[in-house]
Amino acid sequence: MSIGVKVFSETISELGEGPTYDPATDTLFWFDIVAGKLLQQPMGGGDTISHELPVMASALGIVDGERQLLVTEKGLYLRDTKSGALTLHMPLEADNAVTRSNDSRVHPCGAFWIGTMGKNAERHAGAIYWYFKGELRQLFPDITVSNSICFSPDGGTAYFTDTMKGLLFRIDCDPATGLPTGEPAVFFDHRGGDGGLDGSIVDAEGVLWNARWGAGLIDSYSPRGERLQTISVPALQPTCPAFVGKNADRLAVTSAWQGMDEETRRRDPQAGKTFLLDLAVKGRLEPRVAL
């Protein structure tokens, strides 16, 4: 499907990930994971601001007007939005030098599903965790590349994938806690398809939007798992979409150049930039994290 796409941020990330929109400040936040940077830019324009971090981080949740909860290779850190100061809130795989955090998202009730993976995509090194009001539990072990963590608007369904398996799963959840209440079932079988399933988000109508790494595409899926449309983006490795704007009616997409050789980067000059799609969507604002 032909959709207009413009560059939102010219800043090039080796591994751009974890876009999160803050409606209070009309700002998009995202990460360059391997560079240890948190990036931000107001939706109305202006320069991209880069914050150096002492750890690899991949996702954030909004706590309140003054704090964010960052998901990092060492655990969950509270970040003061004014000073940038980080305070360890809870360790997570802090003693495991092999792994880092990856795709993560806040459930409508405020629970945080957190994915980890090996820094070199070591087989079965990662997991998916649940955090809610000070409690941390492991949900799914033996994950190689955790991705596509997102939730239905009512909180009754969660989605996730291990990118290396090519299967997008759905699972019933308790809307009040975000905990699984059943067993994972295949939502979409991408095995043998072009590219790999990366980050996802679900809009107000229950449509799931997925970034297809290695294919330069954004796909949307109905709540029944039917692919509805496919949109091209000007980077081979899109990583994750996010709803942006005060009405959550636009779609931003991060991307990466990680793993590309010199010739591939030459042919993909937009790799690592962050884009804004000229596509009206009925999105949802991200819920706040329940500490």
Tens digits of residue pLDDT in 216-267: 999 999 999 999 999 999 999 999 999 999 999 999 999 999 999 999 999 9
Return mean pLDDT, the chain: 97
Q: How would you list the strands of the sheet with 250-255, edge to edge?
A: 5-9, 274-277, 250-255, 238-244
> Looking at residue 280, what is its pLDDT?
86
Tell me: pLDDT of 152 over 90: yes
Determine whether 198 is an active site residue. yes
CB 151 within 8 A of CB 179: no
Residue 2, pLDDT score: 61
The domains found in the chain, sorted by start residue, are 5-277 (2.120.10.30)
Of 198, 219, 261, 278, the catalytic one is 198
Torsion angle of the four alpha carbons 16, 178, 243, 36, in this order, in degrees rounded to the nearest 10: -20
Average pLDDT over residues 75-99: 98
In this prediction, residues 96-119 reach a mean pLDDT of: 98
Say if residue 1's pLDDT is above 60.
Answer: no
What pLDDT was estimated at residue 237?
98
Position 35 pLDDT exceeds 60: yes
